[in-house]
Structure 1
Amino acid sequence: MHTRRPLFTLLGANAISMTGNVMALVAIPWFVLATTGSPAKTGLALAANVAPFVIASFFGGPLVDQLGPRRMSIISDLLSSATVAAIPLLHLTVGLRFWQLIALTFLGALFDAPGTIARGTLIPDTSKSAGWSLERASGLYAVIERGARLAGSPIAGVLVALVGPTNVLLLDAVTFLVSAALISSLAKPAVRPPAEKGTYLSDIAEAVRFIRRDPFLTAMVLSLMITNFLDMAGTVALPVVARRVYHDPIALGLLMGAMGGGSVLGALVFASRGDRHRRSAVYIWSFMLISIWYPVVATFPPLAIAIAAMFVAGLAAGPINPVIDTVMFERVPKRLRGRVLGAIGAFAWLAMPLGAVAGGWTISWVGLRLMLFGTGAIYLTSAIVLGRSRGIKQMDESVAATPAGASEAQL
């Protein structure tokens, strides 16, 4: 008998946890600016909230496999709650030095990444329990995740204005506790997973070997590194476009909001109809359509046209993560999911700061218009070349991920 309760519980827990993450991205920089008045320290605090993801993905993935995703998600949320709560509590009591704030921010992000990985690895079992296809479950997971990110920023902004950043951080700590409580309500594993004998480094090496030996995973990692690099270059360009072309910071919010709203709708469409189309076609056409916004915005059109281009790009981006998740869950054995998903996430994120630096340098070197045209051309060419690779074509092959004798539940 199918039951949707575990899947909906997972979706709710992830939505709450992701909303808390986005609230922290708003509240922590504002807290630093309000308490120090230093933009440089504000930027450093923001970097401390983002940089640990690569490290935590590599080293947190094996923990997910060893402890089980249910337990790891709970531990991660509890530790994240404690570190976030410590910031306002120390500030209100004995005082908070800046290095302590940076340390707590870094630790909070470090603890959070394994929980994000763990909740993702619960999708196959909970979708099976609900009687849903992986495409549908992964699509809805992406819808709720993107929706939480889209709504979290304005919610946090309003709350900061109403009650102040200190109280928002306390509320943020509560969201992690709620997420932990929801995940703890999921059924415990019927069989305790056998202990792994490998070390962290050997587990990570095993994940890298598994990725390297699978043509699809290798091609996917390469495509994510390239497109994330280019996406971050484009992200750097958007504030410059808003300032130099439209002369209004509101334009930046509208452009980014259009892409975010489009991505939610795109993921929702994939959740309802994704299993009717070839995955490789959806994947490649999505990347090709994303490239549209670069040349359109490079013409410096009226704001409405630029917003429409960003919305189309977001619509195209929506199905990408659900497609990736669906194929990965089919190809990666359950015992390796945490470390493989963590390694893939680390590789993908590794290219992002490089893209940001390259984007800013390229704008200074060749100018905004040429940078946008060039980035769009590279984006489109990369999508076409990757679409012809053997690995991407394997997305349409259904592969049984769980080997014989390894079918026991591990929630």
Structure 2
Amino acid sequence: MRLVPVAYLASYTLSLLGNSIAGIALPLIVLQMTGSVLGMGALAAATAVPAVLAGLFMGVVIDRINRRTSSVLTDLVSAAAIAALPVVDLITGLNLGWFILFGIIGSVGDVPGLTARDALLPAIVRHGKVSSERLMGMRESLGAVAMLIGPAAAGTLMVLFDGSTVLWITAATSLLAALLTLLIPHRVGDIARDLPEADADAVPASGWTQLREGWRVLFRSRFLMATTLLSLASVVVLAALQALVLPVYFTLADQPGMLGYVLTALAAGMLLGGGSYALFGTRGRRRWWFVTGIVGTTVGFAVVATLASVWVVFAGAFVVGLSGGLFSSLVGVLMIERIPEQMRGRVMGTQNSMMTAAPPLGIVIAAVITEFVSLDAAAITLAGVWLVAAVVGLLARSLRNLERPEGPSTGTQRGRRW
């Protein structure tokens, strides 16, 4: 494989790994240094809103500058925000205010960083001489590896080192991700300027107008709305299962340690699903891959929702991961082909912001149902949410023809509805 896709995938994996480690280690460090459980919640709440807003509004910037540059800058912001914490600790000592301040600064790099890498994907395909199916399948597989290793690495680091050392290590992953991205030639990140003249003349100069133009493309495209809603439903259900239903289930079963094994099964399934798509995604019709992913995910969620036994839940999680790996890889390929090149930052920034805001919604819904009805009712409700989304996805006219469009794959025709 050529240098361009290798550098991209390595950078993506390291950045995701750093975020995964930080997501576990930072709350624990806050608890160690402040002794406040409430402080852990305050940090999560204070950084959530800026992350969503940054994802929305930084999309305009990503559509204006070189996308390799924007990817490097967001990683550097994340690295600097984390590295600042041990520096402050050495000078004045840390308190909750410092964690919140640099957490907000770091959140400016997280969602925009993901968006910048997403926006860079079509150029990686073109310059790396790799199929979009292989690239997306490998990306999903490596993401599963990061998801698998991150929490374990965070726990191990917290045992072996003090909090400041763990923060330095976490910052180093983001810095290394930025350095790896620099291996990608600068020209690869240039935004394509090959739109028809009428379209090029219509590109607005105002940042706010550009943002609204991106929203117009997203919300008026039946295809983009259908795939976005499916992804949102998946994120809502998965987050609620992982963060609330399964922890409560295993606690009641007096087997809290099994939660880690179930999450490992989920990640292993994603690894296998993404790897399978990387190897075989160019074979057969895309509609078959789509139906397989949707139906398989539905079966997996239904099995998990039974909460019949630890091993049944374990098997259901693996099926969800396997099918989700196929589905996510295919959706990634479709996003490469069908989002207008000059609007990728705005469209995908909005999508990523929605994905960031969605998990708390699922957790709150599951918590309310568990509190006032039962844990079984919460699990069944979540499976029902996905079932409705799956049926809508399978019946949606805009998702019936998923084959590669003829001609340019950037979807640049204005007003087009997929």
TM-score, with length taken from structure 2: 0.89
Residue 110 of structure 2 corresponds to which residue in structure 1? 112
Report the CA distance between 1:51 and its aligned residue: 4.3
- SS, match of residue 257 in structure 2: helix
Is contact 1:225-1:349 (8 Å) kept?
no
For residues 183-332 of structure 1, the aligned pairs below 5 Å read: 183-189=181-187, 198-235=205-242, 236-244=244-252, 246-332=253-339
Matched letter for residue 270 of structure 2: S
Residue 409 of structure 1 corresponds to which residue in structure 2? none
Residue 160 of structure 1 corresponds to which residue in structure 2? 158
Question: Cα distance 1:248–1:337, how it changes in 2: closer, same or farther (>3 A)?
Answer: same
2: CA distance, partners of 1:45 / 1:160: 19
Matched letter for residue 111 of structure 1: G
Matched letter for residue 76 of structure 1: T
Q: Does 1:401 align with 2:399?
A: no
1: CA distance, partners of 2:102 / 2:116: 22
Structure 1 window deviating more from structure 2 (139-148 vs 185-194): it is 185-194
Matched letter for residue 409 of structure 2: A
Matched letter for residue 285 of structure 1: T
Q: Does 1:349 align with 2:349?
A: no
2: CA distance, partners of 1:21 / 1:98: 20
Question: Cα distance 1:72–1:231, how it changes in 2: closer, same or farther (>3 A)?
Answer: same
Residue 10 of structure 1 corresponds to which residue in structure 2? 8
For residues 105-144 of structure 1, the aligned pairs below 5 Å read: 105-144=103-142
2: CA distance, partners of 1:192 / 1:280: 32
Cα RMSD, aligned residues only: 2.3
- SS, match of residue 101 in structure 2: helix
1: CA distance, partners of 2:64 / 2:313: 47
2: CA distance, partners of 1:342 / 1:327: 16
Structure 1 window deviating more from structure 2 (92-101 vs 5-14): it is 92-101
Question: Cα distance 1:112–1:225, how it changes in 2: closer, same or farther (>3 A)?
Answer: closer
Question: Cα distance 1:251–1:52, how it changes in 2: closer, same or farther (>3 A)?
Answer: farther
Deviation track 1:261-295 (CA, whole Å, cap 9, x = no partner) reads 21111111111111213333323432332233444
- SS, match of residue 94 in structure 2: coil
Report the CA distance between 1:64 and its aligned residue: 1.0
Question: Cα distance 1:349–1:80, how it changes in 2: closer, same or farther (>3 A)?
Answer: closer
Report the CA distance between 1:50 and its aligned residue: 4.4
Report the CA distance between 1:24 and its aligned residue: 0.9
Structure 1 window deviating more from structure 2 (387-396 vs 27-36): it is 387-396
Is contact 1:139-1:267 (8 Å) kept?
yes
TM-score, with length taken from structure 1: 0.91
Question: Cα distance 1:402–1:289, how it changes in 2: closer, same or farther (>3 A)?
Answer: closer
Report the CA distance between 1:357 and its aligned residue: 0.7
Report the CA distance between 1:344 and its aligned residue: 1.6
Question: Cα distance 1:51–1:242, how it changes in 2: closer, same or farther (>3 A)?
Answer: farther
Is contact 1:230-1:355 (8 Å) kept?
yes
Residue 365 of structure 1 corresponds to which residue in structure 2? 372
Report the CA distance between 1:176 and its aligned residue: 1.6
Question: Cα distance 1:280–1:318, how it changes in 2: closer, same or farther (>3 A)?
Answer: same
- SS, match of residue 67 in structure 1: coil
Question: Cα distance 1:395–1:47, how it changes in 2: closer, same or farther (>3 A)?
Answer: farther
Residue 385 of structure 1 corresponds to which residue in structure 2? 392
- SS, match of residue 92 in structure 2: coil
Report the CA distance between 1:140 and its aligned residue: 0.8
2: CA distance, partners of 1:53 / 1:319: 28
Residue 344 of structure 2 corresponds to which residue in structure 1? 337
Structure 1 window deviating more from structure 2 (276-285 vs 381-390): it is 276-285
Question: Cα distance 1:207–1:139, how it changes in 2: closer, same or farther (>3 A)?
Answer: same
Report the CA distance between 1:192 and its aligned residue: 6.4
Structure 1 window deviating more from structure 2 (48-57 vs 17-26): it is 48-57
Question: Cα distance 1:161–1:336, how it changes in 2: closer, same or farther (>3 A)?
Answer: same
2: CA distance, partners of 1:148 / 1:34: 25
1: CA distance, partners of 2:138 / 2:126: 14
Percent same amino acid among aligned pairs? 29
Report the CA distance between 1:190 and its aligned residue: 7.9
Is contact 1:53-1:346 (8 Å) kept?
yes
Of the three residues 70, 73, 76, the one matched with 1:72 is 70
- SS, match of residue 31 in structure 1: helix
Is contact 2:298-2:390 (8 Å) kept?
no
- SS, match of residue 95 in structure 1: coil
Report the CA distance between 1:360 and its aligned residue: 0.6
- SS, match of residue 400 in structure 2: helix
Structure 1 window deviating more from structure 2 (194-203 vs 116-125): it is 194-203
Is contact 2:48-2:357 (8 Å) kept?
no
Deviation track 1:282-327 (CA, whole Å, cap 9, x = no partner) reads 2343233223344434444332222112111111111222211111
Q: Does 1:100 align with 2:98?
A: yes
Stretches of structure 2 that go unaligned for 5 or more consecutive residues are: 194-199, 414-418
1: CA distance, partners of 2:339 / 2:55: 16
**How many residues get paired?**
402
Report the CA distance between 1:49 and its aligned residue: 4.7
Is contact 2:79-2:172 (8 Å) kept?
yes
1: CA distance, partners of 2:332 / 2:309: 37
2: CA distance, partners of 1:356 / 1:172: 27
Is contact 1:16-1:176 (8 Å) kept?
yes
Residue 84 of structure 1 corresponds to which residue in structure 2? 82
Q: Does 1:170 align with 2:168?
A: yes
Is contact 1:160-1:168 (8 Å) kept?
yes
